[in-house]
Chains A and B, each alone.
Chain A
Amino acid sequence: MDIDQTTSNGNHPIASESLESSSRSPSTMTSQQTTEIGDGHTLQHYTPEQTTRVAETGSLVTPGTSPITHHDRVLDNMTITTPNRTTTTTEEQELYPIAVLVDELKNEDVQHRLNAIQNLGTIAMALGPQRTRDELIPFLNDSIDDEDEVLLAVANELAGFSEYVGGPEYAHYLLNPLENLAAVEEVLVRDKAVESLCKVAHVLSASQVENYFVPLLKQLTNGEWFTSRISAAGLYAASYSKCTNEQKVELRNLFSQLIQDDTPMVRRAAAKSLGDFAKQLAKEDLNSSIMPLFIKLTNDDQDTVRLLTVEDLLQISRILSVEENKSTLLPILKSLAQDKSWRVRYMVASNFAELCDSFGEAITRDELVSLFVNLIKDSEGEVKVVTIAQAPAFGKLIDELTVLDKLLPCVKDLVIDTNQHVRAAVATNISGLAPILGKDLTIEYLLPLFLQLLKDDFPDVRLNIISKLENVTQVIGVERLSQSLLPAIVELAEDKQWRVRLAIIEYIPLLASQLGVGFFDEKLLNLCMSWLGDAVFSIRDAATTNLRQLVEIFGSDWAKNTIIPQVMEMAQNENYLYRMTTLFALTTMANALSTDIVKDNVLPTVLRLKDDTIPNVRFNVAKSLEVLASILKNDKTSIELIQSQVAPALQKLSDDSDVDVKWFANKALLSGKGLILFSF
């Protein structure tokens, strides 16, 4: 039904409109009729109360000027028909809400059409509930033929539309347009329509469900095209609880029909929504009508269908009792866990801990441990990765002895797995086992694995193990950990490969924050300082940034007492590279230090280096003075210091014989002037 027909009650449609010149029958009729009238004249008629016609460029037809020529527009645009009365004003035609909408939907820019739809509520509000039901909804039903994006917006809008059609008692009016949208080809639109339908279903009363929703469900389920059947599968759970008993029987039959559909797409959709539907069912109905079909679904020849049944299995196992789980579901789970498709095994593995939880401890201990061991030894890396991620949660459900006997040997194998992603996953999750095993067992069994992982070639493995150290520290204490960890770290820190050393430096701040200041001072501080004297520049550079991060973690007082004295000592070193490193270290740290420390300790050291014999050192002094000055300016009392010490020093450097020194000194002076620090 097109708009003109609705508005004119179908009594006198002369021409009709259609969007985007779609080849619908009314538009062909238009052309016929207009040609009959001939000579490019079309008669225009008007209704009393509404009914509009807005031709494209605002060429409005005013009453009184009845025959108007716009023959050329008639074919590809909408024209408007109305029964003949002349009481309407132009304003009315122009502002008739549906005409406004039609007009907006004619825009060629998709974004505009989208805007129009997103504000559909306004149109409905202007129409009022009665006319929204009688005119807007039928219009949406038939006349929308647009990009998927726009359809998606329509589906989205309709979810919240019940207030515009007159409240929940009229909400069933929304079902029709949504039903059409649930049958379109584009998945996103369909999904959105289903989502909206579920929302609408929640506000429907029992009789509305009976009279409108269930028929819709039937129609979709029996739809010829698989798209409507897929949409139907998602709708059962939403309406089931509101149905009468006979209808419930019917719905169950319809759903089982979907489960046995010929196309895998539909079976997949059915498998996806089976879990939710099962939750709504009474237990005996579930056992009698759905279970046999579910079992069939788990043996489907398509692995994409089978893998979706794992989630259902989880949902159903939560509904059934422990004995029922053991007798019916356990065999299914076992076969799924040994499925020939790795994607099915992957699904089982990723839901393993939850499955164990709903099956109960007894079954877990007796039956599921061996399944888990099989999965952890799987031939596919992906399966191993998700299985090991479940290990800590699974370990909590079984006793430590089983963990030790069954699980640990597998984990040991994984530590030397050839797949680096598997090793990284082990490194992330292995520390989760420490709280389960307790102190002594962790030291005895897990620690060696830790150390082995710490020496892994793949950086992610080392990072994962270090970032999860916290769990282990809680169990065995910092002391014990440091005893075994430290040798490994020191070894890596002095590795011949500078990339390995760099990797360790990057983890130091993380490690320091986890192990605490006491431990750090004692063991790792010297290591950090020795990197400043490394032969490779990248290492020295990383070490200075490392120092800044450490200062951020431990605070400036700690820096003043431990790091700064050692760094300043390096300022006297004979090798100019060491002296330069001092400058770098002090400059990068300055941002994290308090102004007092910068003023008392850092600044004098830097200033002392300004007379260095090597020009490289001198221009680096200029560079670092620039940074220091901008830090010092925050403090009122130190501004004087800038005037009396920094400015003269820079002045002196700007008269240096070396070009670079001059250049950097002048640059620092300029930026200092920019900050209004120096006045000359």
Chain B
Amino acid sequence: ERERNEWIIERAQMKARIALLEGERRGVEQVKVDLLKRVKMLEYALRQERKKYLAAT
């Protein structure tokens, strides 16, 4: 009986841990998406600047 309880508790803890890690992973994924977007944004801004610069010279 006791072993069974322990097993249930352990299982619940594992589940909680999995949920936590999954959540973290989703968060990191989202951050990555945001960062990629920012990099693209900066790349675009740089290209525009460069165009302007070339046009000026």
- B31 pairs with A115, CB closer than 8 A: yes
Of all chain A residues, the one with the shortest Cβ separation from B39 is A122
A448 to chain B, nearest CB (A): 62
Q: Is residue B45 within 8 Å, beta carbon to beta carbon, of the partner chain? A: yes
- B44 pairs with A95, CB closer than 8 A: yes
Given A100-B37, A112-B34, A116-B34: A126 and B27 interface contact (C-beta under 8 Å): no
- A126 pairs with B37, CB closer than 8 A: no
Which residues on the A side are within 8 Å of B42 (C-beta)?
122, 125-126
Q: Is residue B17 within 8 Å, beta carbon to beta carbon, of the partner chain? A: no
Which residues on the A side are within 8 Å of B40 (C-beta)?
94-95
Which residues on the A side are within 8 Å of B41 (C-beta)?
95-97, 100, 122-123, 126
Q: Compute how far the CA of A104 lies from the CA of B38 in the bound complex, rounded to whole angstroms.
A: 10
Interface residues of B in 7-35 (CB under 8 A from A): 27, 30-31, 34
Which residues on the A side are within 8 Å of B44 (C-beta)?
91-92, 95, 126
The size class of the interface chain B forms with chain A is 10 to 19
Which residues on the B side are within 8 Å of A128 (C-beta)?
45, 49
- A109 pairs with B38, CB closer than 8 A: no
Q: Compute how far the CA of A112 lies from the CA of B28 in the bound complex, rounded to whole angstroms.
A: 10
Q: Compute how far the CA of A109 lies from the CA of B27 in the bound complex, rounded to whole angstroms.
A: 8
Q: Compute how far the CA of A103 lies from the CA of B37 in the bound complex, rounded to whole angstroms.
A: 10
Of all chain B residues, the one with the shortest Cβ separation from A54 is B37
Which residues on the A side are within 8 Å of B38 (C-beta)?
100, 119, 122-123
User: A103, A112, A126: which contacts B31 (Cβ < 8 A)?
Assistant: A112
Which residues on the B side are within 8 Å of A125 (C-beta)?
42, 45
Which residues on the A side are within 8 Å of B30 (C-beta)?
107, 109, 112
A94 to chain B, nearest CB (A): 8
Q: Compute how far the CA of A104 lies from the CA of B41 in the bound complex, rounded to whole angstroms.
A: 13
Of all chain B residues, the one with the shortest Cβ separation from A109 is B27
Q: Compute how far the CA of A649 lies from the CA of B14 in the bound complex, rounded to whole angstroms.
A: 47
Which residues on the B side are within 8 Å of A247 (C-beta)?
none
A500 to chain B, nearest CB (A): 45
B50 to chain A, nearest CB (A): 13
Which residues on the B side are within 8 Å of A92 (C-beta)?
44
Q: Is residue A130 within 8 Å, beta carbon to beta carbon, of the partner chain? A: no
Q: Compute how far the CA of A116 lies from the CA of B33 in the bound complex, rounded to whole angstroms.
A: 12
- B45 pairs with A104, CB closer than 8 A: no
Which residues on the B side are within 8 Å of A112 (C-beta)?
27, 30-31, 34
Of all chain B residues, the one with the shortest Cβ separation from A112 is B30
B2 to chain A, nearest CB (A): 27
Interface residues of A in 74-103 (CB under 8 A from B): 91-92, 94-97, 100, 103
B31 to chain A, nearest CB (A): 7
A126 to chain B, nearest CB (A): 4
Q: Compute how far the CA of A128 lies from the CA of B27 in the bound complex, rounded to whole angstroms.
A: 30
A contact face: mostly helix, strand, loop, or mixed: helix
Of all chain B residues, the one with the shortest Cβ separation from A119 is B38
A214 to chain B, nearest CB (A): 36
Most buried by B among A92, A95, A103, A112: A95
Q: Compute how far the CA of A97 lies from the CA of B31 in the bound complex, rounded to whole angstroms.
A: 16
Which residues on the B side are within 8 Å of A32 (C-beta)?
none
Q: Compute how far the CA of A103 lies from the CA of B27 in the bound complex, rounded to whole angstroms.
A: 15
Which residues on the B side are within 8 Å of A107 (C-beta)?
30, 34
Q: Compute how far the CA of A96 lies from the CA of B40 in the bound complex, rounded to whole angstroms.
A: 10
Of all chain A residues, the one with the shortest Cβ separation from B37 is A100
Which residues on the A side are within 8 Å of B27 (C-beta)?
109, 111-112
Which residues on the B side are within 8 Å of A115 (C-beta)?
31, 34
Which residues on the B side are within 8 Å of A96 (C-beta)?
41
Q: Compute how far the CA of A506 lies from the CA of B49 in the bound complex, rounded to whole angstroms.
A: 71
B49 to chain A, nearest CB (A): 8
A122 to chain B, nearest CB (A): 6
Of all chain B residues, the one with the shortest Cβ separation from A111 is B27
User: A95, A97, A104, A126: which contacts B34 (Cβ < 8 A)?
Assistant: A104
Of all chain B residues, the one with the shortest Cβ separation from A97 is B41
Interface residues of A in 107-163 (CB under 8 A from B): 107, 109, 111-112, 115-116, 119, 122-123, 125-128
Given A109-B27, A112-B30: A97 and B45 interface contact (C-beta under 8 Å): yes
B48 to chain A, nearest CB (A): 9
Which residues on the A side are within 8 Å of B31 (C-beta)?
112, 115
Q: Compute how far the CA of A125 lies from the CA of B38 in the bound complex, rounded to whole angstroms.
A: 11
Of all chain A residues, the one with the shortest Cβ separation from B42 is A126
Which residues on the B side are within 8 Å of A127 (C-beta)?
45
Q: Compute how far the CA of A104 lies from the CA of B42 in the bound complex, rounded to whole angstroms.
A: 15
Of all chain B residues, the one with the shortest Cβ separation from A92 is B44
Q: Compute how far the CA of A111 lies from the CA of B34 in the bound complex, rounded to whole angstroms.
A: 12
Of all chain B residues, the one with the shortest Cβ separation from A89 is B44
Most buried by A among B31, B40, B41, B49: B41
B11 to chain A, nearest CB (A): 28
Q: Compute how far the CA of A100 lies from the CA of B43 in the bound complex, rounded to whole angstroms.
A: 13
B33 to chain A, nearest CB (A): 10
A3 to chain B, nearest CB (A): 16
Q: Compute how far the CA of A112 lies from the CA of B49 in the bound complex, rounded to whole angstroms.
A: 29
A547 to chain B, nearest CB (A): 44
B19 to chain A, nearest CB (A): 15
Q: Compute how far the CA of A112 lies from the CA of B24 in the bound complex, rounded to whole angstroms.
A: 12
Q: Compute how far the CA of A157 lies from the CA of B37 in the bound complex, rounded to whole angstroms.
A: 21
Q: Compute how far the CA of A128 lies from the CA of B53 in the bound complex, rounded to whole angstroms.
A: 14
Which residues on the B side are within 8 Å of A109 (C-beta)?
27, 30
Which residues on the A side are within 8 Å of B34 (C-beta)?
104, 107, 112, 115-116
Of all chain A residues, the one with the shortest Cβ separation from B38 is A122
Q: Compute how far the CA of A123 lies from the CA of B42 in the bound complex, rounded to whole angstroms.
A: 8
Q: List 27 A-B contacts (CB under 8 A).
A: A92-B44, A94-B37, A95-B40, A95-B41, A95-B44, A96-B41, A97-B45, A100-B37, A100-B38, A100-B41, A103-B37, A104-B34, A104-B37, A107-B34, A112-B27, A112-B30, A115-B31, A116-B34, A122-B38, A122-B41, A122-B42, A123-B38, A123-B41, A125-B42, A125-B45, A126-B41, A126-B42
- B-side residues, CB < 8 A to A, are 27, 30-31, 34, 37-38, 40-42, 44-45, 49
Closest 3 CB pairs of A and B: A126-B45, A95-B44, A95-B41
16 new A-B contacts, CB < 8 A, other than A107-B34, A109-B30, are A92-B44, A95-B40, A95-B44, A95-B45, A109-B27, A112-B27, A112-B30, A112-B34, A115-B34, A116-B34, A123-B38, A123-B41, A126-B41, A127-B45, A128-B45, A128-B49
